[in-house]
Amino acid sequence: MSKYKKLSHVVYKCDYHIVWVPKYRLRILKGAIKELVEQDIRMLCEWKSCEVEELNVQEDHIHLLVSVPPKVSISKLMGTLKGKIAIKLFKSYPKLKKKPYWGNHFWARGYFVSTVGLDEEMIKKYVKYQEKEEKRVEDQQQKFDF
């Protein structure tokens, strides 16, 4: 029963795989911006009583495997993550706000979410190693580009 979590009146296992992207899927999540995003995702999840199982911030999207208590809705969690991080990014990097295409929105609308069931280990490995696989495929494609 160690995979299950407990609150005062509930025993639960609510794990979600969530993916979201910056507006226009710009490859902007690198360096200091990547570190800020990673740090804030962990901090905000902890604040919402959620547990980050795996997190992978890539240049143009984020994979998050998170355990969420039943009292927290995914839409509220995502609203908090996307909203608070965007505000902090625009305050920390004012140049981002000056770009005409942002329109005061850092993230693209919407996100992908899927519940994690019996394939949890497979999804954890996918989230953890997906960046390495994408780079391998990119390198292969560059060999064939003329």
Give the residue numbers annotated as catalytic, written as ranges: 126
Main-chain phi, psi angles of 70, to 5 degrees: -60, -25
Contact 32, 116 (CB under 8 A): no
Per the CB < 8 A criterion, the answer to whether 92 and 41 are in contact is no
Rounded CA-CA distance 16/82 in Å is 16
**Token pair belonging to 107:** 């993230």
